[in-house]
Chains A and B, each alone.
Chain A
């Protein structure tokens, strides 16, 4: 299920489950969040995408009530987190970035505890635990101590613990860090299933691919502020990025070698070895003509690569740096 297939997000009204307005949080002189507003609707998966230290975890911590904002307000399923904390938290399921499990307890015991403490009856917790363990593929390890689990299994159980009480708002903070592809897919399946059941999901990640794969909408965050928000297409469009052609040649192309070609412009490019050039092309249809032009100039093209614009490009365009290496 791709973004947009679950219908257009509704930003207000009864279907908005997670709502944060103008959040601000600072630690001493360092501002962690500034003017962050977020709304996640029922059944919607919203990605919070940003590099490490961008403010994703702080945002999720405030939205889940773990941290108190310096300013701004949060409501979960219509309950103000400041004034109706208990009701808001009942609707909330947090999957922290770090594992939040008791290592010496079994998977079932962990689930039972978190289910019971969230107000489920023993029967509800028991039935829900078995069902969720089945969903995350851990039913055969239900009675094994968590400390015996692999990293991926712990991640899956970690998510299950946050979802056992069927929260209407689920917040996942980089839940796939360090997991194998198989576990990641299972995690995605569980999250999509929860969204399909009507939960509003806020998914924090710095993996562009995950956001593109899973999220209906994406919020780009950097240095504690929201840089942009929208669907993947909207963000790429918002950043104004175009398709880029990268070519490697046997000898250097003279500057302005593609001058006069419509829809094509040279980009600054530097490589340590060999000869290469980068071009911005309005359409992939320009590629054959460009290869021909190089040949006409006596330069043989050894290799070329067409790079379609993505969220990374949009992020770079909007922030000036990549998702994985944000300056602190």
Chain B
């Protein structure tokens, strides 16, 4: 229970302390709101939010074309209320409005012959002079111009498309007529084809009839010839066979008798030997009578047909079988009549249907270098000076203000106020010391940026010292005000932090100023960071001459003098 009571009382005490800690409450509530507001308003347009004011973007236009395209572009721009137009006479002047005078975000040149080129189907390109630092505004205007080019191209194409559609309709109608005629012709041809089939069948039947007749006649003739010839040959062969058969019977009889004689000779010779007894061996061998061939069948012996007779028979046969030639007369077939088909006339087709050309643009940065859309730059060219200025401001504001508060806390300020040297000498000494430190800090940071990140130092690096000195002076002088406003070290820290963050954010140290809405850009003109960044951007990114840095430098020295006056007034009241 005691523990809980102790916690309860401690809790109450802590809340009382917190309630009375105005700095703490400030840091808890106001500081984040301030930073959120600065960042939120600044970056709203990146995410598509924010509002666009009337005449917020200024563009310069050079009309070298004086044609329909120029007229269309002018009308389109006039409809866009966010645009404010400056008409300039020539390209050099257009460049100057963007580069030197910074009066316009983008300068548009409509080159001579643009309208004619597009009408003739050629390609026309407008020329854009842009400022890479004003990236968002440039992109916004480029989108508008791209849209405009698209509308012009689309309009021209639409016109052509309408003419083409009319021609297509005409051609379509003609083709319909042609199709109808062709269908009619097809039907007629179908009818003719049917007639042709019947005719052919008739012709075929006729031909077949004639061929059959001719073949039948030829066959009959051949048969008669063959019969006569074969009869003649048969008679002749019969005669010859009878003769040869008689001769063959004589030969057979002879051979039969020869065979009997051969047996009788062998018997005779055997009796001779027997009679000879022992002298038989001295009897010489009789002569050998040849035997007729074994298995000789005399009946099978053939009688050859005479060749000449057969040859004659063949010739007669070939002559008899010769088919007479068949002749089919083409005039016997009736030719189909070709129907009359109407060929539609194509009428008059516009052969001069021209496709229009296109309109585009080419972007040149401030160095005359052709770039892509919204050509960029080394991000460190923006980040190095931006964060250099931020940390310079931290050093200046915190350094000067905390140093003064330290002087008061250490009691040395009281002693210094009693010495013969006036208080302003002390303040001046402090400001001067911080100014020198800040100035050297800027030089070192730019040098490091050049070495490490390859940032551009512009045409004249020495010129960077002007805005560096001016912002160092303004920052140091503002520290005097913060020291007067923040009574204690604890008060200076949050006040300084918020002031620095707000100044840096709104002043374009962390992102290009054109990210911010127009009203915030106007507010930013009251901050030294804005002018410092303008000078650095002019010198480093836009590569302008030292002359461009004179006004921002003068403004920041003016801020410094103003801050010093206010700071001294507060310091006198607070510290005197």
CB distance from A116 to the nearest CB of B (A): 10
CB-based contact B418/A99 at 8 Å: no
Q: Is B202 an interface residue (CB 8 A)?
A: no
CB distance from B411 to the nearest CB of A (A): 4
Q: Is B417 an interface residue (CB 8 A)?
A: yes
- The closest CB in chain A to the CB of B415 belongs to A100
Per-residue 0/1 for A61-101: is the Cβ within 8 Å of any B Cβ (1 yes, 0 no)?
Answer: 10011101000000000000000011101101010101111
CB-based contact A98/B414 at 8 Å: yes
Q: Is A128 an interface residue (CB 8 A)?
A: no
CB distance from B118 to the nearest CB of A (A): 75
CB-based contact B414/A96 at 8 Å: yes
Q: Choose one: A61, A89, A96, A101; the contact of B419 (CB below 8 Å).
A: A89
Residues of A within 8 A of B410 (CB): 99-103
Q: Is B416 an interface residue (CB 8 A)?
A: yes
Q: Is B238 an interface residue (CB 8 A)?
A: no
- The closest CB in chain A to the CB of B575 belongs to A66
CB distance from A28 to the nearest CB of B (A): 15
Q: Is B235 an interface residue (CB 8 A)?
A: no
CB distance from B6 to the nearest CB of A (A): 33
CB-based contact B411/A100 at 8 Å: yes
CB-based contact B414/A65 at 8 Å: no
Q: Is A118 an interface residue (CB 8 A)?
A: yes
CB-based contact B420/A89 at 8 Å: yes
Taking residues whose C-beta sits less than 8 angstroms from the other chain, chain B's interface range is 10 to 19
CB-based contact A94/B420 at 8 Å: no
Q: Is A172 an interface residue (CB 8 A)?
A: no
Alpha-carbon distance between A249 and B219 when the two chains are bound, in angstroms: 194
CB-based contact A114/B420 at 8 Å: no
CB distance from A173 to the nearest CB of B (A): 9
CB distance from A29 to the nearest CB of B (A): 19
Q: Is B462 an interface residue (CB 8 A)?
A: no
CB distance from B482 to the nearest CB of A (A): 21
Alpha-carbon distance between A138 and B249 when the two chains are bound, in angstroms: 187
Q: Is B412 an interface residue (CB 8 A)?
A: yes
CB-based contact B421/A92 at 8 Å: no
Within 370-425 of B, Cβ neighbours of A (below 8 Å) are at 410-412, 414-422
Q: Which of B419, B421, B576 is the most central at the interface, judged by chain A CB atoms within 10 Å of its CB?
A: B419
CB distance from A156 to the nearest CB of B (A): 15
CB-based contact B420/A96 at 8 Å: no
CB-based contact A162/B420 at 8 Å: no
Q: Is A161 an interface residue (CB 8 A)?
A: yes
CB distance from B517 to the nearest CB of A (A): 46
Q: Choose one: B415, B417, B421, B422; the contact of A162 (CB below 8 Å).
A: B415
Q: Is A119 an interface residue (CB 8 A)?
A: yes
CB-based contact B416/A96 at 8 Å: no
Q: Is A297 an interface residue (CB 8 A)?
A: no
CB distance from B156 to the nearest CB of A (A): 77
- The closest CB in chain A to the CB of B426 belongs to A117
Residues of A within 8 A of B576 (CB): 68
Residues of A within 8 A of B418 (CB): 64-66, 89, 92, 94
Alpha-carbon distance between A61 and B418 when the two chains are bound, in angstroms: 8
CB distance from B322 to the nearest CB of A (A): 147
CB-based contact B414/A100 at 8 Å: yes
- The closest CB in chain B to the CB of A88 belongs to B420
- The closest CB in chain B to the CB of A113 belongs to B412
Residues of A within 8 A of B420 (CB): 86-87, 89-90, 118-119
CB distance from A89 to the nearest CB of B (A): 4
Per-residue 0/1 for B565-576: is the Cβ within 8 Å of any A Cβ (1 yes, 0 no)?
Answer: 000000000001
Alpha-carbon distance between A162 and B417 when the two chains are bound, in angstroms: 12
Q: Which of A64, A94, A100 is the most central at the interface, judged by chain B CB atoms within 10 Å of its CB?
A: A100
Within 99-158 of A, Cβ neighbours of B (below 8 Å) are at 99-103, 114, 117-119
CB distance from B451 to the nearest CB of A (A): 32
Residues of A within 8 A of B421 (CB): 117-118
Alpha-carbon distance between A98 and B407 when the two chains are bound, in angstroms: 12
Alpha-carbon distance between A66 and B411 when the two chains are bound, in angstroms: 12
- The closest CB in chain B to the CB of A95 belongs to B415
CB-based contact B415/A65 at 8 Å: no
Alpha-carbon distance between A96 and B416 when the two chains are bound, in angstroms: 11
CB-based contact A101/B412 at 8 Å: yes
CB distance from B216 to the nearest CB of A (A): 148
CB-based contact B412/A100 at 8 Å: yes
Q: Choose one: A61, A86, A99, A118; the contact of B411 (CB below 8 Å).
A: A99
Residues of A within 8 A of B412 (CB): 100-102
CB distance from B286 to the nearest CB of A (A): 177
Per-residue 0/1 for B549-576: is the Cβ within 8 Å of any A Cβ (1 yes, 0 no)?
Answer: 0000000000000000000000000001
- The closest CB in chain B to the CB of A60 belongs to B418
- The closest CB in chain B to the CB of A68 belongs to B576
CB distance from A271 to the nearest CB of B (A): 37
- The closest CB in chain A to the CB of B413 belongs to A100
Knowing A100-B410, A102-B410, say if A114 contacts B415 (CB, 8 Å): yes
Alpha-carbon distance between A300 and B410 when the two chains are bound, in angstroms: 58
Q: Choose one: A68, A119, A161; the contact of B415 (CB below 8 Å).
A: A161
Alpha-carbon distance between A61 and B575 when the two chains are bound, in angstroms: 13
CB distance from B406 to the nearest CB of A (A): 9
CB distance from B488 to the nearest CB of A (A): 15
Residues of B within 8 A of A103 (CB): 410
Name 13 interchain pairs, CB-CB below 8 A, sorted by A. A66-B418, A86-B422, A94-B415, A94-B418, A96-B414, A98-B411, A100-B412, A100-B414, A100-B415, A101-B411, A102-B410, A102-B412, A118-B419
A sample of 4 more A-B contacts (CB under 8 A), given A94-B418, A96-B414, A102-B412, is A65-B417, A87-B420, A92-B418, A96-B411
Q: Which residues of A contact B (CB under 8 A)?
A: 61, 64-66, 68, 85-87, 89-90, 92, 94, 96, 98-103, 114, 117-119, 161-162
Those 10 A-B pairs whose CB atoms lie nearest each other, nearest first: A100-B411, A100-B415, A98-B411, A94-B418, A64-B418, A89-B420, A90-B420, A66-B417, A86-B420, A100-B412
